[in-house]
Amino acid sequence: MAGNLLKSNRARKALTISATHVVLILLGIVFAIPLLWMVSTAVKPLEETMKAPPVWIPSEFQWGNFWKAISYKSEQLGYIPFLVYARNTIVITLLTVCGSVFANSLVAYAFARLKWWGRDQFFAVTLATMMVPFPVTMVPTFSLFRWLGWVGTFKPLWVPAFFGSAFSIFLLRQFFRTIPMELSEAAKIDGASEFQIFLNVIIPLSKPALAVVALFTFMGAWNDFMGPLIYLIDQESFTLALGLQSYQTTHGGTPWNLLMAASFLVILPIIVVFFFAQKLFIQGIATSGLK
């Protein structure tokens, strides 16, 4: 009888796992539909992009649309320098990621490992800033950057990253608190300063959490549309997210196949980065206390 009960439990567990996998696969397919539609449209002839009912498999695969998207000439703006947009986006993203990882890790270390007056209160205030919506700070921030003479440059897009982000600080603080204090105490006995402990003990053990912060920051900076829209003026300084608008016309005639091809090229680096960093990403989320 015990054997039958054991077999029943195993069968129930196997059924539950199978049902979970089926549900996850179906949800994955649902979430992948927009991406599949974008890729399908990117390789279609223009006349098939707006057909009803929709055409999923084009009559002719036009792989050259990706090259045409890079060298596209807009009726309104003329030649669209897609590669210049890509260069600008890479520069801004790299500076933002470096600033975010550096600043957030320092602040999180102070909140997690150091004892000082008002630490918990200041941390609560830091978390409270997450509840302030962007429109509230948009005008004062723009006024500050205009007073500094930074409007029309890249500085408003990457300099704020060196002043920290509440969410990233919270994530790194939660991770740093999981590292045993005995390691820091042993380093102090050996004569290490706080910065040496941070650099040589905490940082090497925090690669998964740092990877999560870097990935989130990378995605935010790469896809940022509002920031470049507000601060960038010259077309030669546009980013990819802002440059995609150049493929749309105000009087119709938008080349949807080229727009989808350009959009796919824009999101491709995010897919590649996440694919290679997914192990560190999942590990960092799991060990930071976030669910």
Residues 44, 62: contact at Cβ < 8 Å?
Answer: yes
Mean pLDDT of 263-285: 77
pLDDT at 134: 85
Residue 87 has pLDDT above 50, yes or no: yes
Residue 291 has pLDDT above 50, yes or no: no
Is the pTM for the entire model greater than 0.85?
no
pLDDT at 78: 61
Residue 269 has pLDDT above 80, yes or no: yes
Check residues 231 and 287 and name the one with the higher pLDDT: 231
Residue 91 has pLDDT above 90, yes or no: yes
Mean pLDDT of 218-235: 88
Domain architecture of the chain: domains with CATH: 2-70 (no CATH), 74-287 (1.10.3720.10)
